[in-house]
Amino acid sequence: MANLALWLAARFIPARAGIRELQAVQAMLISDVASTLLRSDPEHGAALLREAFSNFGRTMGETLKMRFRVRPTLSDLAAAWRTVCNLAGVRYKISREADRVVFAHPACPLWEEFSRRRLNCSETCLPMITALSQVIAPQAQVELLRPPDSSGPCVKAIFLKENQT
């Protein structure tokens, strides 16, 4: 089981109406910045977004490690993902398999904004969650099982890659 502080954060970050409104505004801001950057610099915009969101993910990972003493285990990594999802207002369903944890997102404020603007989560969410995961556990791997499309948000899996010696 994940440590107690992380477990509590993952489950009890409030998601009431006021928080949801702020989360929607945050998603709109991210979407506006992303679409403006991609429009103003089509050649380099996607790479710049991936870099910015990777940096953001690394910072969040370091903060989670320091604040909640997150360990490089699959259990703690899944709790960190739940915490980040709760902060962003992303709903999730988790299924655990032998060596991985699968996150399906029935609702995601970023996907809702991105789908209106024809943006792709591969420039924002995926680099962010991958960087966050690898800061917590360098052997962490993120797999996109179902990309976001017009029917709904993505499904991702996290697993720890075995050390190859």
Nearest to 95 by CA among 16, 9, 158: 158
The predicted model scores a pTM of: 0.80
What is the Cα–Cα distance from 136 to 139, expressed in whole angstroms?
A: 9
Which residue's structure tokens are 């360990």? Answer: 71
Q: Tens digits of per-residue pLDDT, 83-102?
A: 988 888 888 899 998 899 99
pLDDT beyond 60 at 135: yes
| 107: helix, strand or coil | strand
pLDDT at 94: 94
- Residue 110 one-letter amino acid: L
Segment (H or E) for 42: none
User: Tokens representing 152?
Assistant: 């709904």
pLDDT at 19: 66
The class level of CATH for 4-160 reads: alpha beta
- The residue extents of the domains of the chain are 4-160
